[in-house]
Structure 1
Amino acid sequence: MPTASGNSLADLFSHRAFARFWLARLNGTTATQMLMVALAWNMYDLTSSAWDLGLVGLFQFVPALLLTLPAGHVADHMHRGRIFACCLFAQALAAVVLLAALYGHFTSRELILGISVLLGMARAFQMPAQQALTPQLVPPALLQRAVTISASAMQAAIIGGPALGGVLYTLGPATVYAVSAMLLIVGGVLGLTVRYDHTPPQLATSWDSVLAGVRFVWHRKVVLGATTLDLFAVLLGGATALLPIFARDLLQTGPIGLGLLRAAPAVGALAMSLALVRWPLERQVGHKLLLAVAVFGLATVVFGLSRSFTVSLLALVVTGAADAVSVVMRSTLVQLETPNEMRGRVSAVNSIFIGASNQLGEFESGAVAALWGPVVSVVSGGIGTMVVAAAWLKLFPTLAQRDELHPKA
């Protein structure tokens, strides 16, 4: 395990393996965001079908859901840096195939859906490996900053990637696919250079071993509370799926306004992540985590009730900032509470919760909106999120009463 002499960013990036991994993730996330923009537009250009657009997401989600637990087992047995690199290379291959299809005039609906399956499979293995890798590259005293600066980079990529992809798409989808492939290859090469002490566990592969992460999360109440907190908060409090309705019908704005609303949470998350890099949370972390979730719910309620575009925009910025606090603290806490030999499988369980909450959250928002309208859907979801934060005070006292993320070095 690396050692540290201090807590500054210079100390953090002095760990070269972490610096390379950080750059690899930045390249990979930017490229993935660009690729998703081009893939969706390419499908819509081909079919003009909203149903087919939905299938692109579904064909990525299902293989990711089915493979995540086995992928966590793989991440605990094989070199995580190489798994991460191979996943980026697989996504680069997908971009190259799409590029070849454009030039060879064999792009089709079926090809795009097949590529979507490949992307979902790659991400199933990528997420547990990259989540479990960071604690191997920095000492515990620097883990919170490492998670925070990684989150900052990812938010910047989530903001900038789609925008860059949209600009490049004006030159044609081939340009987006080519640039995405190059960024993914660079990220994969950087991933291959990540070095850490890797000792494969001497355990036979079995379903009992694959499911060990589920058992660990269930029995470790701090980890269970942290992971399920995100599941229920996002499941209830997500308003993203209904933004087009709010933008057009309630806030009376157009596509540009919708774009600003979609970007607002990421802007808030990026700003908060940068603040946490400078001023990390050190005491009463359990109460601050639950407070951040409650603020997320309250800001969601404000957004649901607002008829002012400015107020709605600011409310979404606050949701992103509060979510950033929650993400950093939960991710750091889960990694610190999990033994290294279990981190891949526990990260896989966490990935399932995140994926399920995002997908089911969109379904829940749409279903409630269809029955009682978008305002009721968003406001009730925000209230539900605040109720969850309050309930977790009683249901998971070890999480709520947690003072420090880790003992001081």
Structure 2
Amino acid sequence: MAKQDPYAALRIREFNIFLLVRFLLVFGWSMQFIVIEWQVYSITKDPLSLGIIGLMEIIPAFSMALFAGHIVDQNEKRNLLAICTAAFSLISLGLFLLTSDRFVNNWSTNSILYSIYGLVFFGGFLRSFFGPTIFSLVALLVPKKIYHNAATWSTSTWKTASVSGALFGGFFISWIGVDKTLSLVFILVILSLIILFQIKKKPILNTKIGEPMMQSLKVGVKFVFQNKAVLGALSLDMIAVLFGGTVAILSVFAQDILKVGPEGFGLLNASISMGSIVTMFITTYIPIHKNTGKKMLISVFIFGLSIIAFGLSSIFWVSLLALFISGAADGISMVIRQTILQLKTPDEMRGRVSSVNSMFVGSSNELGAFESGLAAKLLGPVVAVVFGGSMTLITAVTTGIVSPTIRNLDLTEDIEENESEA
């Protein structure tokens, strides 16, 4: 196999434009998430309210996922992403207005809270389209032989934007206030929409345009459940994310346990993504296609250990370190999962397969947020986090024992096959 070029995907102009668009969107979305989590907990002082945010997003995201995948496979991807981005700007504008002095002074607390939940619900609906559209668009911007490299850079960009958004979200709350921070999010989304049109419209690779929706959905789901490598990777990550969802209650730790204020809250969130970024950039030089399954299992196991360490810590720097390690481990798992999906998914089915991925992993983020909020309400935040980390450890060990397909997974042949076809 030829020597790997770590910058192969970055040599393509439209892919770089795509990365900039994705950075701006995720940076804004991440900052918005941080601000809303902070604002809702400040209003209610109830950890369950943070779990409800996750629940409000998972309901539409999960229920619409398969239908969104079908629509993505049947339509042009650049324009579809533009429509989603324009709709996202309306959510950002609405949240800005809800947190402005005019609304805060004239609306009841419950009215503002329920309106925030409503906009989050709309955001969940949009998210069901964002994931499949972005996943499908990447494959139209780069040659097949560098799909794995593009997946790494795309995921790294997402994580870089997450850490930046989380960090600046916490600081901006302190510096300029909640409402002005959300106005910045709106500006960033509009900017990303403008830049997106520097990418040309792309061909629709699906040869079955007009295929009945139910038949289309059946084919997509059947593919995932028959491909053991894809199904195993999604299942493992889903359970890890479901029980390791500490992010949803970080505001509780920041305000009530570590007592570090909004700046510390931003740093806690940022440390997770910073760990992911470090490992993701390393994987551009050190490929993960050899012994892929073992690397994924080890990364999930380390993730669980670090979550337990965070839950037991009452020292700020120890908590930061634990979250950094959790992000590093999660970053490896994420790159592996995205690489598996890119390599093993046919072009005409990318929207539907990505939608199933969002049902497994993406929605489990919000379900995990609800689980964490509910567990924190019933058991206390420390016990809730330790329980989640312990379940993740059990999942990694059990999967390694009972699933030889995942344990022995190796992607070397898949990458060599793509290179020979290019």
TM-score range normalised by the length of the shorter chain = 0.7 to 0.9
Distance 1:141 1:56 in 2: 40
Identity of aligned residues (%): 35
Unaligned runs of 5+ in 1: none
* Structure 1 vs Structure 2 CA RMSD: 3.2
Q: CA deviation at 1:334?
A: 1.6
Is this contact kept in 1: 2:41–2:251, CA < 8 A?
Answer: no
| Aligned residue-pair number | 403
Distance 1:44 1:371 in 2: 17
Aligned match of 1:127: 131
Is this contact kept in 2: 1:132–1:335, CA < 8 A?
Answer: no
For 1:283-329, what per-residue CA distance to the aligned partner results, in whole angstroms no more than 9, with x for missing partners?
11111111111111222233344454433322221111000000000
Q: CA deviation at 1:336?
A: 1.2
Aligned match of 2:308: 301
Distance 2:186 2:223 in 1: 38
Q: CA deviation at 1:57?
A: 4.5
Aligned match of 1:194: 199
2:411 match: secondary structure: coil
Is this contact kept in 1: 2:56–2:124, CA < 8 A?
Answer: yes
Is it true that 1:407 corresponds to 2:411 in the alignment?
A: no
Is it true that 1:91 corresponds to 2:85 in the alignment?
A: no
1:281 match: secondary structure: coil
Is this contact kept in 1: 2:243–2:392, CA < 8 A?
Answer: yes
Aligned match of 1:254: 260
Is this contact kept in 1: 2:343–2:415, CA < 8 A?
Answer: no
Of stretches 328-337 and 120-129 in structure 1, the one that deviates more from structure 2 is: 120-129
Aligned match of 1:271: 278
Distance 1:249 1:171 in 2: 23
Is this contact kept in 1: 2:15–2:138, CA < 8 A?
Answer: yes
Distance 1:43 1:211 in 2: 39
Q: CA deviation at 1:11?
A: 2.6
For 1:60-115, what per-residue CA distance to the aligned partner results, in whole angstroms no more than 9, with x for missing partners?
33222221111111111111222112111111233345567789956752654443
For 1:257-281, what per-residue CA distance to the aligned partner results, in whole angstroms no more than 9, with x for missing partners?
4443333211111111122223222
Distance 2:160 2:28 in 1: 12
Aligned match of 2:187: 182
Is this contact kept in 2: 1:7–1:141, CA < 8 A?
Answer: no
Distance 2:280 2:343 in 1: 19
Is it true that 1:164 corresponds to 2:168 in the alignment?
A: yes
Of stretches 398-407 and 285-294 in structure 1, the one that deviates more from structure 2 is: 398-407
Distance 1:328 1:372 in 2: 33
Amino acid at match of 2:299: A
Is it true that 1:136 corresponds to 2:140 in the alignment?
A: yes
Distance 2:337 2:401 in 1: 18
Aligned match of 2:77: 80
Is this contact kept in 1: 2:311–2:386, CA < 8 A?
Answer: yes
Q: CA deviation at 1:168?
A: 4.8
For 1:319-368, what per-residue CA distance to the aligned partner results, in whole angstroms no more than 9, with x for missing partners?
11000000000111022111111111111111112233223323444555
Match runs of 1:39-54 below 5 Å? 39=36
Question: TM-score scaled to structure 2, two decimals?
Answer: 0.83
Amino acid at match of 2:199: V
Is this contact kept in 1: 2:65–2:358, CA < 8 A?
Answer: yes
Match runs of 1:295-334 below 5 Å? 295-334=302-341
Match runs of 1:225-244 below 5 Å? 225-243=232-250
Is this contact kept in 1: 2:61–2:124, CA < 8 A?
Answer: yes
Q: CA deviation at 1:379?
A: 3.4
Aligned match of 2:153: 149
Of stretches 298-307 and 216-225 in structure 1, the one that deviates more from structure 2 is: 298-307
Distance 2:277 2:35 in 1: 24
Amino acid at match of 1:201: T
Give the alignment partner of residue 354 of structure 2, picking from 331, 338, 347. 347
Distance 1:204 1:139 in 2: 27
Cα 1:176–1:400, aligned 2, differ >3 Å: closer, same or farther? same
Distance 2:375 2:103 in 1: 41
Distance 1:111 1:245 in 2: 22
Is this contact kept in 2: 1:77–1:201, CA < 8 A?
Answer: no
Is this contact kept in 2: 1:234–1:358, CA < 8 A?
Answer: yes
2:199 match: secondary structure: coil
Cα 1:188–1:396, aligned 2, differ >3 Å: closer, same or farther? farther
1:407 match: secondary structure: helix
Is this contact kept in 1: 2:74–2:206, CA < 8 A?
Answer: yes
For 1:131-190, what per-residue CA distance to the aligned partner results, in whole angstroms no more than 9, with x for missing partners?
222222223442232222222222222222244345555445564344323321232233
2:8 match: secondary structure: helix
Is this contact kept in 2: 1:267–1:320, CA < 8 A?
Answer: yes
Is it true that 1:338 corresponds to 2:345 in the alignment?
A: yes
Cα 1:365–1:33, aligned 2, differ >3 Å: closer, same or farther? closer
Distance 1:373 1:95 in 2: 32
Aligned match of 1:16: 13
